[in-house]
Amino acid sequence: MKNIEQGTLSKKKHQSDRMPAAIRELLPAVSALLLITTVMTLINHKFLLPSNISNLLLQQAEPAMLAIGLVMILFLGEIDLSVGAVSGFCAAIMASLTARHGVDPIVAILIAVAVGASVGFFQSIWVVSFGIPAFIVTLAGLIGWQGGLFAVLGQQGTINLTEPKIEFLTQAFLSKSFAWTVVILLCSVYIFIRIQTVRRSRELELEGTKLILVLIQSAIFAAILIILLLYFQRDRGIPVSFFIVLSMATLLHLISRYTRFGRQVYAIGGNLEAARRAGIPVKRVRIQVFMLATVCAAIAGVLGGSRLSAVGSGQGGGTLLLNSIAAVVIGGTSLFGGRGHIWSAVIGSLIIGAISNGMDLLALASPIKYVVTALVLLAAVTFDSVSRSRSAKLTP
Amino acid sequence: MPALLSLKQIKKSYGPIEALKGVDLELNAGEILALVGDNGAGKSTLIKVLSGAITPDSGEIALDGAVVNFPDPRSSTKHGLATVYQDLALCENLDVVSNLFLGHEELFKIRFPHILASMKMQRMAIDLLSSLSIKLPSIRSRVEQLSGGQRQAVAIARSLVRDPRIVLLDEPTAALGALQRRDLIQLMRTLRDRGLGVIFITHNLNEVLEVSDRVLVLRQGSNISTAQIKDITEASLIAVITGISDDLVSKVGA
């Protein structure tokens, strides 16, 4: 009965047990981030000052939020080019409602998010029902919602946002007590779940991770969170906007790894026809993922508008979309579908932010910044492609 | 006692082309039936009818004597038929356990969200695989890391997760090496010995003679002849497949 697990497995014990699977997948991206951080700090020690890193987080909240939505799309093996434009459009709606129509900002944000969801629904219907490639549908979306942005802004071109509730999102920092509560809560939940897992796997006579290893991993998890928090509290603390990004990433991480929906998303990205034959409601799942992406885009738009205290015609445009796609790939999520990790969006955004921020500190001209980002992106895609073909070669 | 599965006069046309011109088939529990015939004989179409992938134009499908309809793949599954497609239909990016339970995941007993009961599925997967004597490097390895034979075994194991009474295998050995083929044949015998009905398509006549209990020959959309394996020879089988003879048991040319 146990020849499968214990006969072959335990003899040459998998390395996987030393490290949780999530960490293993993210290792290349995390190493890249640490490497870039080290290089930047060696060149200019100001880079690692908590105040500078806080600024970096503030800058990257918007693209990171956009990237989090895109990861889910990439899991499916699809692409959404419209999310930048959608974020601009939704930000303009939120700004127009608060500044021009006196709507309560919270209601306005909720409306913007609802509009984002509807846009995703509308676009995905085209992809799912008519079989038009998402690339084309969302390209149309990119152009169309850009028009929507201009239409909402009207002739003035820019809407100023002075509403304190909206400025709070990107200008406030988490209070000390709140941040500590969150960290302690996270650590307790993490340790509780890990220990429960060990108990359950003993109950079922499964070859689980050893308790001592689980305790060490939990301790490392807690230590990292506490050190990061102490570090940020030497300055102003953790920006509210980035906390929103982290919360969204955590939520989608849990959904993608531990729920049936998440499993279905990965399955569709791996083999759509197999997923369909297995009875997975393929259309519904794809629509839901496209909606999640545009909801994230709407939130990103709100964060972006809040940071600039205004929504103008450039909102959600420029290099935002392309940088977000680059971030996801740099973070290690495959463009080919079925493979990757939610946190690759956040880590990839931080890598791009670190390059940009570091170059600014060095007062380097922006051409260099673009070229370096391009090289990192190229390296990441090459890594993805090579590791894919290597794992394919493993099979005789 | 009625047969486990019986088909009567199954017809299916694609436009002017008659893929099935009224096929009769019977399958008993604990029996391996080989479905053979030249290309275009209607073997795959027949499997698709049984798996619910296509619906026949006319004819009758009965399980234990009770007439049933398979308008879609789900209804076929629900009636206890499991199909292993030639392309296996596995998600290579997912691990063995995920593939075994794909579309039928075990969940925690809460309404929402639908949280995967991962460890329960692992336990069930280990029990299932070991009961079939299927050996894999790890149930957590991704399918893309497995060999062709191991993938085939996973695909068959998956069809058994929902406790079917009939297993349909579309050219299961086509892509396998000699050793893997031997393991697969052993696996098919295990299924038979458990009292399942097994139908498999193959082009390999040695395999027919070696593994199956009975053979059914299709030619141009009609069933020509069926016989117990012990009553036939390779020569008579070839004669019926190619159209020289219409009777498996009679001597060639007689």
Give, in order, the Cα–Cα distances in Å from A164 to each of A169, A273, A306.
9, 50, 10
Whether B14 is in a domain gets the answer yes
Minimum-distance CB partner of A4 among B74, B120, B135:
B135
Contact status of B78 with chain A (Cβ, < 8 Å): no
- The pLDDT of B172-194, averaged and rounded, is 88
Grade residue A392 by pLDDT with cuts at 50, 70 and 90. Answer: low
Percent of chain A with pLDDT over 70: 93
By CB atoms closer than 10 A (0-12, 13-18, 19+), residue B14 is exposed
A43-80 pLDDT per residue, tens: 999 999 999 999 999 999 999 999 999 999 999 999 99
Q: Which residue has the higher pLDDT, A214 or A13?
A: A214
Cβ <8 Å between B148 and A205: no
**How far A367 CA lies from chain B's nearest CA (Å)?**
38
Q: A269: closest CA among A14, A38, A78?
A: A78
The answer on pLDDT for A278 being more than 90 is no
Decide if B38 is inside a domain: yes
Minimum mean pLDDT range among A25-39, A87-101, B173-187: B173-187
- pLDDT, tens digit (0-9, with 9 covering 90-100), for B22-64: 999 999 999 999 999 988 899 989 999 999 888 999 999 999 9
Among A66, A119, A134, which Cα is nearest to A296's?
A: A66
- Please tell me the least confidently modeled range out of A102-106, A116-120, A307-311, A370-374: A370-374
Contacts of B92 in chain A (CB under 8 A): 270-271
For residue A21, what pLDDT band results from cuts at 50, 70 and 90? confident
Contacts (Cβ under 8 Å, ≥6 apart) of B178: none
CA B248/CA A243 separation, integer angstroms: 75
Q: Is the pLDDT of residue B171 over 70?
A: yes
Phi, psi of A239 (to 5 degrees): -60, 140
The shortest C-alpha distance from A72 to chain B (Å) reads: 15
Reading the block at residue A104, the tokens are 């309560």
In chain B, whose CA is at the least distance from the CA of A14?
Answer: B138
pLDDT at residue B122 in the model: 94
Please indicate whether, in this complex, the C-beta atoms of A391 and B145 are within 8 angstroms of each other: yes
Q: Is B244 on the interface with A (CB under 8 A)?
A: no
In chain B, beta strands by DSSP E: 5-14, 17-27, 31-36, 58-63, 66-68, 81-84, 166-170, 197-201, 214-219, 222-228
Most B CBs within 10 A among A261, A264, A277, hence the mutation to make, goes to A277
pLDDT for res B75: 87
Higher pLDDT pick, A383 / A269: A269
The confidence band for B251, taking pLDDT boundaries of 50, 70 and 90, is low
pTM for the model: 0.90
Give, in words, the CATH class of A22-171+261-386: mainly alpha
Q: Cβ contacts (< 8 Å) between A391 and chain B: which residues?
A: 142, 144-145
Checking ipTM against 0.95, whether it exceeds it is no
Mean pLDDT (chain B) is 91
| B70, part of any domain | yes
> A with B: how many residue pairs have Cβ under 8 Å apart?
119
d(CA A349, nearest CA chain B) in Å: 25
- Average per-residue pLDDT in chain A? 90
What's the confidence (pLDDT) of residue A17?
A: 57
Q: Contact B89/A263, CB-based, under 8 Å?
A: no
Residue B253 forms contact with A (CB below 8 Å): no
- Please judge whether A396 and B126 are an interchain contact, meaning their C-beta atoms are less than 8 angstroms apart: no
What pLDDT, on the 0 to 100 scale, is given for residue B73? 81
pLDDT at A3 over 50: no
- Residue A278 touches partner B, C-beta closer than 8 Å: yes
> Tell me, what's the pLDDT at A207?
82
CB neighbour class for A7 (10 Å; exposed up to 12, middle 13-18, buried from 19): exposed
Q: Who among B94, B119, B127 is closest to A270 (CB)?
A: B94
Of A4, A267, A271, the CB nearest to B136: A4
**Residue B102, domain member (yes or no):** no
CB-based contact (8 Å) between B24 and chain A? no
More confidently predicted of B105 and A9: B105
Structure token digits, residue A30:
């995390």
| Cross-chain residue pair B102–A278, CB shorter than 8 Å | yes
- B251 at the A interface (CB within 8 A)? no
Closest Cβ–Cβ partner in A273, A339, A392 for B89: A273
- B106 in any annotated domain: no
Alpha-carbon distance B73 to nearest alpha carbon in chain A (angstroms): 7
In Å, how far is B141's CA from the nearest CA of chain A?
10
Contacts of B120 in chain A (CB under 8 A): 204
Longest alpha-carbon distance in chain B: 69
Q: Chain B residues with CB inside 8 Å of A205's CB?
A: 123
- Structural domain for B168, as ranges: 5-88+147-242
CB atoms within 10 A of CB B247: 15
Q: How far A80 CA sits from the closest chain B CA (Å)?
A: 22
pLDDT attached to residue A270? 96
B234: domain CATH number?
3.40.50.300
pLDDT of residue B183: 86
Residue A292 has pLDDT above 50, yes or no: yes
Q: Is residue B141 part of a domain?
A: no
Give contacts of A5 with chain B, Cβ < 8 Å.
Answer: 126, 138-139
Quick one: average pLDDT of A356-366? 86
**Contact list, B130 vs chain A (CB under 8 Å):** 1-4
pLDDT (tens digit, 9 = 90+) per residue, B61-81? 999 999 999 988 888 989 999
Mean pLDDT for A191-201 is: 93
Residue of B126, B152, B176 to mutate, testing the A interface (most A Cβ within 10 Å of its Cβ): B126
Overall number of domains in chain B? 1
pLDDT of residue A7: 38
Q: How many other CB atoms sit within 10 Å of the CB of residue B230?
A: 8
Tens of pLDDT, residue by residue over B195-222, are 999 999 998 899 999 999 999 999 999 9
Residue B104 belongs to some domain of the structure: no
Task: Confirm whether B110 is domain-assigned.
Answer: no
